[in-house]
Amino acid sequence: MKKRRSKKSNKTWWKQPANLIVGLFILVAFVRSEEGQLIIEYGVNLLLFILMMYLIYRYLKRKKVLQPTYDLSDVDKMEGLEFEHFLVPLFEKIGYRAEVTKGSGDYGADLILRKKQKKYVVQAKRYSKSIGVSAVQEIVAAMGYYKANGAMVITNSYFTPAAENLAKANKVRLIDRDELGYMMYKEKKFRNIFAPS
């Protein structure tokens, strides 16, 4: 004798009309009471507050106000060539194969980065002053010479507005002091192993 399987209802509670009607009556009674209105008002205000805080957080993060950074005081003491060699393990840590070009006759590129089938040229500027348009012009020329897919200028300082405009027009990525510090902060292993002494 075969046992009959008990058929379980596949309907979920909100698809059953009786449950919907009861739920609707409870909701109406809840909304009509003073306590229910207060709870809904507090809930809406809380959601608006959370949304406002989230939008402020996104804005500050985009403006790089909330990004933690790494102390670059040791980097500021480096010589130019030392700074170039210092950047090699950082770029390798984030997935590039990096090499320093020969010092003289490098045609404006201090580092050559490779990732997958693409080549990038980098100019490293360890300066105490802001970086102007000449650095961008040199790396644009180097990009053509090395037949690179992209270019970037990285510095322990900041860029002038003119340099930023020229870089944007030529699709050159600029990495300033804040972004360099953030890259070093983000790579904790890099920070522990390769931080300058």
Q: Is position 68 within any domain?
A: no
Question: Same domain, yes or no, for 177 and 105?
Answer: yes
- pTM exceeding the 0.85 threshold for the entire prediction: no
d(CA 181, CA 197): 16
The range of the structural domain enclosing residue 128 comes to 73-194
- Output the domain CATH number for residue 100: 3.40.1350.10
Question: Same domain, yes or no, for 79 and 57?
Answer: no
Residue 188 has pLDDT above 70, yes or no: no
Q: Is position 4 within any domain?
A: no
* Per-residue pLDDT band at 49 (split at 50, 70, 90): very high
Question: Same domain, yes or no, for 107 and 141?
Answer: yes
Please report where in the chains the tokens 């102007």 appear, as a residue: 132
Question: Same domain, yes or no, for 58 and 150?
Answer: no
pLDDT (0 to 100) of residue 195 = 41
Q: What is the DSSP letter of 130?
A: P
pLDDT (0 to 100) of residue 27 = 76
Query: Among 23-32, 112-121, 136-145, which stretch is predicted with the lowest mean pLDDT?
Result: 23-32
**Among 79, 98, 77, 95, CA closest to 87:** 98
Number of domains within the chain = 2
